[in-house]
Structure 1
Amino acid sequence: MLSVLDDMYRNQRRRMMNVQPEDGRILRLLAEAVGARNIVEIGTSNGYSGIWFCLALRTTNGRLTTHEVNAQRASLARENFKRAGVYHLITLVEGDAHEEVTKLKEPIDILFLDADKPGYIDYLNKLLPLVRPGGLILAHNTANLGGGMQDYIEAVTTNPDLETKFIHKHDQGIGVTLKKR
């Protein structure tokens, strides 16, 4: 799996908006730390972050449901999931995640947002009720306050049921939000 991630980073990142490798390691670490059995990702891209999650899901015996609106990226992700040997751990949903997430019913251990930044607040409002107490909401690109991120950041930092910290090791950043209750 690591060789596939390395190949994807070297050869596919220019056309994709993937997390940095150090962020991928953080995603894996957090998924393993909370014992994630159900991860929901909004914004599959080429599957890079999904494979990082699957490194943990092999240990936790969990699954990833990932949403991608772009058919070409979804196809590339499907190929990459197969190359990495993790396709059996993944449900790839093609379509507008704003509509598709309303079909989700199972408790979520980790929600990962890495799609349309103005849509983060909509995803949060729709999916927060499904995130279990002790679960995490991870948001990519929180270092950039433009493009609708301010509403999301205000929502996760002012809700008394949430605790949020930001990891900004580079120009993208990840927001890590714990649902306390």
Structure 2
Amino acid sequence: MSMDANFKNYMQQLYVAFTAHDAAQDHRLARYRNIEPDSALFLAIQIRLKQAKQILEIGTSTGYSTLWLADAAKATQGHVDTIEIDDSRIIQAKQHAQHLQLINYIHFYQGDALIFLQNLKQSYDLILLDAERDAYVQYWQYLSQIMHKQGGVLIVDNVLSHANDVADFIKMVEQDNRFVSTTLNIGAGLFMVTFRD
């Protein structure tokens, strides 16, 4: 069995386990709320198409999307920086990354995403935003600064499934004349942003 088949099988098993966990939780914050497989695959393809090397994920959770990003980063000789506030979820994500031999392609950070963004000094080829949606408006001024000027892209998850939660954020981005954006009907909805020029 090829490594690619191993990866796909492992990720399928993970997704089943994570969604079963979420279905058993009454409280939203207790759920892992991982990205849908179609969205994860789309992100992985984007990384390969762009040959993205500097990748940022805001909202690791238990690492489902992180693993997809890292597998693609392995192909481009890049790396993933990922930030998560819940240390117990980072521990899970690291275990899965070690199992798939992807740990060397990921830098895990524990803490508040806003503080993390405020202190970043580098730019990224691709950014995945999949965190607490009520903070996105605050994040924008920093996200817009760390997107690589030459083809950098921001992709935001859950924009169709939670349209009301992200409406103010999307409006803010759409009114920023430096950027062009579109909403894709993939998974729970992906909002894709890049520089106009």
- Do both share a fold (TM > 0.5)? yes
Q: Which runs of 4+ in 1 moved over 4 A?
A: none
Counterpart contact for 1:139–1:174, Cα < 8 Å: yes
State the partner residue of 2:134: 118
Counterpart contact for 1:139–1:175, Cα < 8 Å: yes
State the partner residue of 1:50: 66
State the partner residue of 1:146: 164
Residue 168 in structure 1 maps to residue 174 in structure 2: no
State the partner residue of 1:9: 15
Amino acid of the structure 1 residue aligned with 2:105: L
Aligned counterparts of 1:161 and 1:121: Cα–Cα separation in 2: 16
3-state SS, counterpart of residue 98 of structure 1: helix
Q: What is the Cα deviation at residue 4 of structure 1?
A: 2.2
Residue 32 in structure 1 maps to residue 48 in structure 2: yes
Per-residue CA deviation, residues 80-109 of structure 1 (Å, 9 max, x unaligned), is 111121110001100111112222111211
Q: What is the Cα deviation at residue 2 of structure 1?
A: 1.9
Q: What is the Cα deviation at residue 145 of structure 1?
A: 2.1
Counterpart contact for 1:4–1:80, Cα < 8 Å: no
5 Å matches for 1:79-90?
Answer: 79-90=95-106
5 Å matches for 1:71-110?
Answer: 71-110=87-126
Q: Which has the higher strand share?
A: 1
**What stretches of structure 2 of length at least 5 have no aligned partner?**
1-6, 23-31
Aligned length: 179
Q: What is the Cα deviation at residue 20 of structure 1?
A: 0.9
Counterpart contact for 2:18–2:34, Cα < 8 Å: no
State the partner residue of 1:155: 172
Change (3 A) 1:86 1:66: same
**What stretches of structure 1 of length at least 5 have no aligned partner?**
none
